[in-house]
Amino acid sequence: MIPEIGQITLALALALALVQGILPMFGAQRGISSWIALARPLAWLQTAALALAFALLTYSFLIHDFSVAYVAHNSNTQLPTQYLVSAVWGAHEGSLLLWALILSAWGAAVAHFSRSVPDVVVARVLAVLGLVSVGFLLFMILTSNPFDRLVPSPVEGRDLNPLLQDPGLVIHPPMLYMGYVGFAIPFAFAVAAMLGGQLDAAWARWSRPWTHAAWIFLTIGIALGSWWAYYELGWGGWWFWDPVENASFLPWLVGTALMHSLAVTEKRGAFKAWTVLLAIFAFSLSLLGTFLVRSGVLTSVHAFASDPGRGVFILMFLFAVVGSSLLLYAVRANEIKSSVRFELMSRETFLLLNNAILLVSTVAVLLGTLYPLIADALQLGKISVGRPYFDTVFMILTLPLVALVGVGSIARWKRDSGERLWRRLRLPAAVAVVLALAHSLLLVPFFNPLTLLGMTLAFWVVASTLAGLRDRMRPHNNLRHIPRGFWGMTLGHLGLAVFVIGVSMTETYSIEKDIRLAPGETYALGDYSFEFKGVDTVQGPNYTAFEGTVVARQGDQEIAQLSPQKRTYLVQKMPMTEAAIDAGLFRDLYVALGEDLGDGAWSLRVYHKPFVRWIWLGTLIMSLGGLIAATDRRYRVLARRVAPPSGATGSVRG
């Protein structure tokens, strides 16, 4: 009964989304205020319907209703409760439901927080979101219905993929989806603005906090995925340039470009057409990411449970969304030219460079990701693009970007002089070079030119960002007058520096050894030694595991007892490596069990990874910066000032 109610709820949500996509849109174009007024309630109703559907599916998991195919395939009576809940989005159908729910919830959030925005604009925005929702719900109902029954229903479920039975994976997908789907909001604002023919600073101001919000979630989502891969896949790497990782990274790159270009559009009224285009790209790449992950066209560690038939639908949907929005753009582009002038030496130029570099990097990553697909389609053979391609290209392209951060954030809008910038920046530059040289010559085990470059750039970003902060403190010489937007930028850039330090140090000074150890043997790794005490069998709730005991020492002092596991999950018979990590701010000690080599001996991975935490710490600081920027006072001040009297529908222009 419950699954049938779920079916009906989904159909209801589809109907609501359809109405939300059509009536407010027509209302806005024709000036029918009663239709415009429908947008907000419909957004709420659609969210309520999808929340109910989601709750019903969760309930089916909690009561182990294996007559529901999706539950039977992804759950088990032995599965711990927290994973029963997270199993709801553990596979394709449920992911889509979560996706649709988040999309509608973003819409409801717009309905709630955009009281200051003219109703006619909100109506258009919500209508665009409604249409996107129609596409997703159709896809779900037609190809991947989570409530489909399984006849006859099995007594026991097939269990959740063991890789996903992990706290990191409980929150990683929702965060990522919040980010992916969040870029639908700037997209909807862009389309709404093109439809209404009003693209001004006010539009950029409405759209900015939403872009920040989506970006924050995407950043956290990607960082969580990276962290999970680090400890769960048992290889000790933090980024693999896996197609699915790239799928989430591409919208992040364009989203970052969008944040910066929105700043120019809001503050200076420039880059308008470009910003609109970026908003379209960011969301298109989110959809492309869905296509790549869900169609199974790519060989990837994520490509489990994939179905090519579904890919066709998403691809068509992608073409419909991108095609129609680009068509609209082509029709309206000449009306949204920016007439604002700026000099070659100005903040605008530096932000333009930021956008250029981010876009070129996006294209490079996209090319590497899609090349195997294209080659396959053209019968050029089964090709894969190696990790070194991404490492080399991405590093060379983005190092100048890091170098520009310091200049761009200090340069003045409209016009600046090279001479003034030099005077402002020579001290930070000198500090950066001296600190990095001292670090590279005195503090690390051996000299590496790339690390020196990375550290110089990181110190440069810190020093120039602090110099910018000091500039901003004038004339009152206190911090209270600094708006949150500026704090957001400062933290964002400092986070980038922390990230760059983490990458520079980890990539150069990590020691990674795969070794064979018999019980009682000790292996020395740099300053540390690892004593292998042997392996025991332990019993988990739904798995059995070999658990090794490894004592890590620094000199003679014991610093950690590590218990890496090799689990075998009972239902899927799938082996899983659980690495044991002694984490620290300046270094991780990482031990993972390899294979049983007989006579009690095992192969082990023993890693020393300096500064690896800084990679995720940096991304956290970046997202914190985003959060602070998104809550800048001027978005709220605007809300109060422009807020129309309640009941007013605003003037409508056709």
Residues that bind another protein in the complex, under the rule CB under 8 A: 161, 163, 234, 296, 299, 301-306, 341, 343-344, 349, 352-353, 356-357, 360, 363-364, 367-368, 371, 381-389, 392-393, 396-397, 514-516, 566, 572-577, 594-595, 597-598, 603, 605
Distance CA 506, CA 525 (A): 16
Minimal distance in Å, beta carbon 49 to another protein?
33
Angle formed by the axes of helices 167-182 and 92-113, to 10°?
50
| Residue nearer to another protein on the CB measure, 304 or 447 | 304
Distance CA 502, CA 620 (A): 13
| Residue nearer to another protein on the CB measure, 338 or 603 | 603
| Element spanning 580, H or E | strand 580-582
Q: Would you state the structure tokens that stand for residue 352, as one six-digit string?
A: 């333009």
Contacts of 358 (CB under 8 A, 6+ apart): 253, 254, 256, 257, 260, 401
The pairing of strands 522-525 and 528-539 is antiparallel
| Residue nearer to another protein on the CB measure, 540 or 575 | 575
| Residue nearer to another protein on the CB measure, 202 or 303 | 303
Minimal distance in Å, beta carbon 539 to another protein?
19
Alpha helices by DSSP H, 75-200:
81-86, 92-113, 119-143, 167-182, 184-196
| Residue nearer to another protein on the CB measure, 54 or 530 | 530
Minimal distance in Å, beta carbon 471 to another protein?
25
Distance CA 523, CA 300 (A): 34
Minimal distance in Å, beta carbon 302 to another protein?
8
Q: Would you state the structure tokens that stand for residue 495, as one six-digit string?
A: 């986070």
Distance CA 166, CA 91 (A): 14
Contacts of 319 (CB under 8 A, 6+ apart): none
**What is the chain's alpha carbon radius of gyration, rounded to the nearest angstrom?**
26
Q: Which of 469, 248, 271 is nearest to 354 (CA)?
A: 271
Minimal distance in Å, beta carbon 533 to another protein?
19
Minimal distance in Å, beta carbon 386 to another protein?
4
Minimal distance in Å, beta carbon 461 to another protein?
21
Contact assessment for residue 300 and residue 225, using Cβ atoms and an 8 Å cutoff: no
| Element spanning 566, H or E | strand 565-569
| Residue nearer to another protein on the CB measure, 242 or 632 | 242
| Residue nearer to another protein on the CB measure, 114 or 256 | 256
| Residue nearer to another protein on the CB measure, 4 or 343 | 343
The distance of Cα 6 from the centroid of its chain, to the nearest Å, equals 30
Minimal distance in Å, beta carbon 267 to another protein?
20
